[in-house]
Structure 1
Amino acid sequence: MKDKILSFLKHLTEKVKPILHKGADHGTHHVKVAAAGLAGLYWNLSPQNRYRVRLAAFAFAILSLGIVVGRVTNVNRAVKIEASDKALKVESSGILELKLPGVTLNPAIYVFQSAEKVQVPVDIKVPGRLAFNAEKSKVLSARAPGRVERIYAFDGAQVDIGSPIVEMYSPEFLSAQQEYLLSSKTAKVLEANKTMSDLLGDARITQQAAANRMRNLGAGEGDIKSIETTGKTTNNLIMRSPLKGVVVKRNVEPGSAVSLGDVIATLADPKQLWFLGNVFEQDFRMIKQGQKMVLRLEAYPEKEFIAYANYIAPTVDPQTRALLIRADVENTDDLLRPDMYASASLTTGTADAVVVPQSAIVRVRENRYAIIKVGPETFRRVPVKGYDLNSKSFAITEGVEQGWQVLAEGAVLLNDRFAKQED
């Protein structure tokens, strides 16, 4: 229906155009002729098309009437223009002041607290890593050439003092056993013959020397007593753990040949670790032995591990320009592992600061801000200085005074208004 009406109106327009183009210079006569032509054109239409023209004319009249009525009714209407809340004042110090006339902040979202200065620890950040305590670690090495026959403890195995680690064949160890066995037998014979007491002393010295040689090769006291008791030597030397801990790394395979000094395995106590941190030059003057260190690791973001500095390197690393600081770490819960990265907070003193939640601090690039309330509808964003006390609290050392109303919750939301005004 709509398409047919539009087609008819287009056809009607084309019929009228030649008449309209003749212009007003032809006078009223042509207007009347045009009107008569339109009337004739209308009555020449079929009844159905005349109905469509009337319908279109009626719709046009309704639309025109609506426009006229709308203009008449709105011409004298008072339009309420709300006051703009864009009232931002920028100070040379970087402080922004924002006025929000007629705006009431929702107290369930925007929570203010009164600033109170308290004593807080002054910390410096010390990046570093964990390592095995070298004083509680041992390297098991070959004390004589030989061949590995058997491995008792592989990587990660828990060992106690005296636990067998490897068994190896060593001709030198066989020679030391035979020497000890011979000197022991000689000493027993000379003990029976009291007339040869001078030779007995020499035999005892030889026996002791042979026993020390066996100890140097890795034999234990039990191995030496077994030879003396049984009167027999053993084919292989069993090397045992000198400490309680774990096998950190094994360097040999069964059947491999080893030379004097070759490392067989590395052992360490996993409950005794070191923190090795780097203190940079600007902080050298604030550190000393015995200071408390609080370690935090990415693996346990909610946990803190306490350590105390026990060593400060006498020289600066020429590559990093940092000073090595070391602390003993107790790993009683077996949560820590060597080579984990850790960040330590080293307490160097105390200072007055305003402690606020982390949610009160607005971070914009490298800068930190807090928002304070200075009037019922006036707020200021002030730059602050300070540091993280922990994952939940921030210590403001500069920028906020005692008694100021600090926005503790909702600071990021209100800062969006400051940002929009700045734009």
Structure 2
Amino acid sequence: MKDKILSYLKQLADKAKHILDKVMHFGGHRLQLGFASASGLYWNLSPQNRNRVRLAAFAFAILSLGIVVGRITNVNRNVKIEASDKALKVEKSGILELKLAGVKLNPDIYIFQTAEKGVVPVDLKVPGRLAFNAEKSKILSARAPGRVERIFAFDGAEINIGSPIVELYSPEFISAQQEYLLSSKTAKVLESSKTMSDLLGDARITQQAAANRMRNLGANDGDIKAIETTGVTQGNLVMRSPLKGVVVKRHVEPGSAVSSGDVIATLADPKQLWFLGNVFEQDLRLIKPGLRMVIRVEAYPDKEFIAYANYIAPTIDPQTRALLVRAEIENANNLLRPDMFASARLTTGTTDAIVVPQTAVIRIREMRYVIIKVGDEIYRRLPVKGYDLNSKTFAITQGVEPGSSILAQGAVLLNDRFAKQED
């Protein structure tokens, strides 16, 4: 390199000498005058300006030297560009193929299974909520004007059939008791007289009518029999529960006046619930009564509650554009509560699919992928279609052929290698 630089500088010097000789031959005298004039101008400058001129000349010299060196060293040579070490192939269908040369996957982490096709249920997702079974619920209401004297069961209290709920003072109930007691005594007197059989019949009819009136006001057969046995009327009417369950809500306070028809309490059986689900209009053709439903709630993500559709609404809700589907749920362990949000998988049929664990499925936004092994060191990531059978398994309906070697565990880890190669 040094010899090349010296040779090039020598050539420049020879060319400069040749040009200078010509200039001196034709106008040497004028050139001498020019140099003398330039020299005089330089020395006539102030020391500060002369210093600036020297710095400019020095910079020009450095620049010229750089240009000379650059021309000498600017050699057209081939630059070796290393080929990419990526071993990823991308197909138009979205399938990725990765070759891991010399890499052996740890069998304790990466577990493969053979794809086998089987019959799986076809499920329809149905969002909804839980509610009390209206057929097992009752509204306890006042059947005559009165006043609340006492409350026996407050909100949340467990009750049985016949358990006292409230005690009412009701003038109509007292009047009905007196009518029943009078007709009962009249019937007993007329029973001893054989000549008054017609009057006895009328007395029995009046007695029965008074008993029915008491029943309509809320008295039970025990209350009626006690009046007939003791011959004494009760001061207040005790309203009792017609079912076994709980007091969901109490609507009156002690001492409050009630009118006929006023709601006193809401009673329900918490072990008998309904699931009220919404099926969208486009899925109407898939549902019918009797279909099996697997219901889940957020409070117990690992538990499944089985029910069967027993009612499909005859009309579509104009607001939600959904169809109401109802099913009865047994709540024997009291795990569920009314108004819980719930989701159901309604089985509408069966189809052929390949079942894999959830760990085999790679979820990227709305897409689902699995990885299969196609060679000793070659793996492919395939887009698939399917749905969740449950929290542990996934049904592949399209994208994988039976007999393929699917990565059942470790798919997310191996997918990281695909992602790095894509970058």
Using the size of structure 1 for normalisation, the TM-score is: 0.79
User: Which residue is 1:334 aligned to?
Assistant: 334
Could you report, residue by residue, the CA deviation over 1:71-123 in whole angstroms, capped at 9, with x for unpaired residues? Answer: xxxxxxxxxx9986412222111111222222222222111111111111111
1:203 aligns with 2:203: yes
Give the match's secondary structure for 2:339: coil
1:411 paired to 2:421: no
- Give the partner amino acid of 1:218: G
User: Identical aligned pairs, as a percentage?
Assistant: 81
Secondary structure in 1 aligned to 2:328? Answer: strand
Q: Matched residue of 1:293: which SS?
A: strand
Other-structure match for 1:240? 240
Query: Does residue 1:266 correspond to 2:304, yes or no?
Result: no
Amino acid paired to 2:361: I
Is contact 1:85-1:100 (8 Å) kept?
no
Q: CA deviation at 1:161?
A: 0.9
Provide the residue aligned with 1:349 in structure 2.
349
- Three-state SS of the structure 1 residue aligned to 2:374 is strand
> After superposition, where does 1:157-172 map in structure 2 within 5 Å?
157-172=157-172
The 1-side partners of 2:339 and 2:328 are apart by: 14
Cross-structure match for 1:255 = 255
The amino acid that maps onto 1:221 is D
Which runs of structure 2 are paired with 1:80-119 in the superposition (5 Å)?
A: 85-119=85-119
SS in 2 for 1:346: strand
Q: Which amino acid aligns with 1:265?
A: A
Distance 1:236 1:259 in 2: 16
Superimposed CA distance per residue, residues 33-65 of structure 1 (whole angstroms, 9 cap, x where no aligned partner): xxxxxxxxxxxxxxxxxxxxxxxxxxxxxxxxx
SS of 1:375's equivalent in the other structure is coil
Q: How does 1:273-292 map to 2 (within 5 A)?
A: 273-292=273-292
Within 1, Cα distance between the matches of 2:306 and 2:280? 21
Structure 1 stretches of 4+ with a deviation exceeding 4 A read 81-85
Q: Provide the residue aligned with 1:218 in structure 2.
A: 218
Instruction: State how far apart, in whole Å, the 1-side matches of 2:341 and 2:108 are.
Output: 40
Report the AA paired with residue 241 of structure 2: S
Q: Is the 8 A contact 1:85 1:101 kept in 2?
A: no
Structure 2 gaps of 5+ residues are 1-53, 59-80
The one-letter amino acid of 1:149's match is E
Instruction: State the Cα distance separating 1:422 from its structure 2 match.
Output: 2.1
Rounded Cα–Cα distance in structure 2 between residues aligned with 1:205 and 1:247: 37
Q: Which secondary structure does the structure 1 equivalent of 2:407 belong to?
A: strand
Partners of 2:85 and 2:266 lie apart in 1 by 71
| Structure 1 match to 2:388 | 388
Q: Quick check: which has more Rg, 1 or 2?
A: 2
Aligned twin of 1:306? 306
**Contact between 1:114 and 1:403, CA under 8 Å: does it hold in 2?**
yes
Matched residue, 1:364:
364
Query: How many residues are matched?
Result: 349
1:193 Cα offset (Å): 2.5
Cα deviation for residue 418 of structure 1 reads 1.6
What's the offset of the Cα at 1:192? 2.3
Distance (Å, rounded) in 2 between the aligned partners of 1:314 and 1:210: 43
Structure-1 residue corresponding to 2:9:
none
Aligned partner letter, 2:301 = P
Cα deviation, residue 421, structure 1: 2.2
Distance 2:336 2:245 in 1: 15
Letter of the 1:116 partner, please give it. Answer: E
Q: Secondary structure at the match of 1:420?
A: helix
Measured against aligned partners, the alpha-carbon deviations of 1:332-381 in whole angstroms (never above 9, x if no partner) come to 12211111111111111111111111011000011111111112222111
Distance 1:279 1:362 in 2: 29
CA distance in 2: counterparts of 1:281 and 1:193, whole angstroms: 74
Task: Give distance in 1, aligned partners of 2:281 and 2:228.
Answer: 62
RMSD of the alignment, in Å? 2.0
How does 1:162-201 map onto structure 2 within 5 Å?
162-201=162-201
- In the aligned structure 2, how far is the partner of 1:260 from the partner of 1:386? 59
Query: Secondary structure at 2:327's aligned position in 1?
Result: strand
Counterpart-to-counterpart distance in 2, 1:329 and 1:335: 11
Amino acid at match of 2:292: K
Q: Is the 8 A contact 1:152 1:165 kept in 2?
A: yes
- What amino acid is aligned across from residue 338 of structure 1 in structure 2? P
The answer on whether the counterparts of 1:85 and 1:99 sit within 8 Å (CA) in structure 2 is no
1:367 counterpart letter in structure 2: M
| 8 Å contact from structure 1 (residues 146, 257) kept in 2 | yes
Could you tell me whether the CA contact under 8 Å between 1:158 and 1:245 is conserved in 2?
yes
